[in-house]
Amino acid sequence: MCSQRTHAHSHEARGEAFSCVEESVTIDGPSGELEGLTLCPADGARADAIGVICHPHPLYGGTMHNKVVHYLAKTLNELGLCTVRFNFRGVGASEGSYGDGDGEVQDLQAVLDWVRQRQRQAGADIWLAGFSFGAYVALREGCAEGVSRLITVAPPVNLFDFEVFEPPSCPWLLLQGESDEVVPYRNVRRWVGRLNRPPEFVPLPGVDHFFHGKLNVLHEVLMDRLASSVQRSA
C-alpha cells in the first residue's frame, strides 16, 4: 500500500524507503472524496498486515489528527504495520456531510476497499481501530472481509445503540478509562458483561476520555497486549 503513488500533491512513496512520513491520500467515498493519511514504520513494514483507524465524532471536533488516533497509528507503526487514518465525510477536506453513523460506516467500507486494492500482499490482514465515535463505527463494521483484529478505545455505549449488532468474532481489544467523563466506565463494563463474545477488556485507572497526560499509558498497554499477536503471526 505505501509503495503506491497517491495524491497528486504528495511526494512519491518508495516502498521501504518511505519511513515515518505522513503521506496524503485521496480515497473515493460514497459521498465524494475522502481525505486520508498513511504512515509507515521507520524500519520497514510488514506486508501481511495493515492498520485502519477511525476518529471521534465529526460534529464535536473529531478528526484524523486527534491525538489518540495519532497514537493508535504510531503504536501500530511500532508493531510493524503501515496505517491509514482518514477523515469522515464533511471533516477537513473530505466531501459530504455528517451521515448519522450510517454514512460513516459506508466511508469506512470505502477505505477498507481502497486498502485491499493497494495491499502489498494478497489477503493481508487488516487491523481495524477506532476511538470514541470511531470505535462505534469500527464495531459496526466488525470483522468484515479481511479484518482480523479489532481495537476499540472508549466506545460510546451511552450515546449510541450498541445492542443492534453482534459482537465481532475476531480478536478484539477494548480499552476504557476509569475516569472517562464522556463515556462512563460503569456503562462500558455493564455492556461488556452482557456480551456473548466479550472483548479482552482493559480498564485504565485514572484515565479520562481524551487521555490527558496519559497517552503513554495508551501506548504501553497497546504494545503489551498486541506485541504477542504480532510475534505469532510474523
99-146 pLDDT, tens digit per residue, is 999 999 999 999 999 998 887 666 789 999 999 999 999 999 987 777
C-alpha distances out from residue 53 to 63, 150, 162, 185, Å: 11, 10, 19, 22
Does the structure show a pLDDT above 80 at 18?
no
What residue type is assigned to position 145 of the chain? E
6 within some domain = no
Residue-range definition of the domain harbouring residue 82 = 15-229
**Domains identified in the chain, total number:** 1
Q: Say if residues 155 and 175 touch (Cβ distance below 8 Å).
A: no
Under the banding of pLDDT at 50, 70 and 90, the label for residue 40 is: confident
Instruction: Please give the pLDDT value at position 232.
Output: 52
- Tell me the pLDDT band of 14, cut-offs 50, 70 and 90: very low
CATH code (residue 67): 3.40.50.1820
Mean pLDDT for all residues in the chain: 88
Q: Does position 211 have pLDDT exceeding 50, yes or no? A: yes
- Which residues are CB-contacts of 95 (< 8 A; sequence separation ≥ 6)? 29, 31, 32, 33, 34, 89
- Cell readout for 160 is 449510541
Predicted pLDDT of residue 5: 33
Q: What is the pLDDT of residues 172-200, one digit of tens each?
A: 999 999 999 999 999 999 999 999 999 99
Give the pTM.
Answer: 0.89
Average pLDDT over residues 28-52: 89
Q: Does residue 135 lie in a domain region? A: yes
Q: Confidence class of residue 12 from pLDDT cuts 50, 70 and 90?
A: very low
Is position 67 within any domain?
A: yes
pLDDT for the residue 158: 97
- The answer to whether residue 229 scores a pLDDT higher than 80 is no
Burial letters for 31-66: b for 16+ Cβ neighbours within 10 Å, e otherwise?
beebbbbbbbbeeebbebbbbbbbbbbbeeebbbeb
The rounded percent of the chain whose pLDDT value lies above 70 is 86
Residue 10 lies in a domain: no
Residue at 62 is within a domain:
yes
Report if residue 9 sits inside a domain.
Answer: no
pLDDT for residue 45 is more than 90: no
pLDDT in tens, 89-100: 999 999 999 999
Q: Is the pLDDT of residue 20 over 80?
A: no
Cell 471533516 found at: 91
Is 5 within the bounds of a domain?
Answer: no
pLDDT of residue 219: 97
**Model confidence band, residue 6 (pLDDT cutoffs 50, 70, 90):** very low
Band (63; pLDDT cuts 50, 70, 90): very high
| Residue 8: inside a domain | no
Q: How far apart are CA 111 and CA 131, in angstroms?
A: 17
